[in-house]
Amino acid sequence: MNSIENNLKEILQKIESAEQKYNRTKGTVKLLAVSKFHPVDAVEKAISAGHLLFGENRVQEAVAKFSDINSFNKDVELHIIGQLQTNKVKKAVSVASCIESVDRIDLLKEIQKQCEKINKKIKILFEINTAEDSKSGFKNYEDLYEAVKYCADGNTPFVEPIGFMTMAPLTDDEALIRKSFSSLRKLSEKLQTEFPMFNFSELSMGMSNDYEIAIEEGSTEVRIGTAIFGEREY
């Protein structure tokens, strides 16, 4: 058993323990293995260990790593989780099954445009800024509402909104971290009521240092990298 396999096993056990501890149904929290700055053979070791859900921050790196992997293994899912420039969307949608970092309406429109060109439906999460030290994500409700309504009005047939993503503030203050996650859950519940045509079932929140709090607050996907793959190779 390689160390990546061991690490995956250990983290999945911790997630399962947290689900149990906070009365979450077993298997409701997915593990997104963040493979940025790690070589393709590290990803292949994780796939060999049975893991199929990965996240990448940078499009160029994602394409280089996952174009071949996707052609050999159709079950592998790649999510783009980093800030996405509109000029990188064409490449991003060619390899990803989900874009988690939709933070503005022009990006949403470009994703629809590029997916329509290749006749590919893609899932998205709206990224919400719940931390003052973060530069990415929707910062005000009006802009977010406008983007969700744009989808609800039938403008994005190739884009399926499935939920929301956030990053907690970089702090040891548990109360601030919890506030970040609970505010995302409440926002999701509010928008689900306002837009019943969507199934906002996904909350991507929680990383290596705060995923247990995230699970308690309703996360359905935690994003973990170093604890699986080791220190990054820059």
pLDDT at 234: 55
Residue 178: phi and psi, rounded to 5, are: -60, -40
**CA R_g for the chain:** 17
pLDDT at 198: 98
For the beta carbon of residue 144, count every other beta carbon within 10 angstroms.
23
pLDDT at 1: 57
Domains of the chain, earliest start first? 3-229 (3.20.20.10)
What is the 3-class SS of the chain, one letter each residue?
CCHHHHHHHHHHHHHHHHHHHCCCCCCCCEEEEECCCCCHHHHHHHHHCCCCEEEECCHHHHHHHHHHHHHHCCCCEEEECCCCCHHHHHHHHHHCCEEEEECCHHHHHHHHHHHHHHCCCEEEEEEECCCCCCCCCECCHHHHHHHHHHHHCCCCCCEEEEEEECCCCCCCCHHHHHHHHHHHHHHHHHHHHHCCCCCCCEEECCCCCCHHHHHHCCCCEEEECHHHHCCCCC
pLDDT at 159: 98
pLDDT digit string, tens, across residues 180-234: 999 999 999 999 999 999 999 999 999 999 999 999 999 999 999 999 998 876 5
pTM confidence score: 0.95
CB 33, CB 53: distance < 8 Å: yes
pLDDT at 211: 96
Mean pLDDT, each 10-residue run in order, the chain (234 residues) = 90 97 96 95 95 97 91 90 97 97 98 98 97 85 97 98 96 95 98 98 96 97 95 67
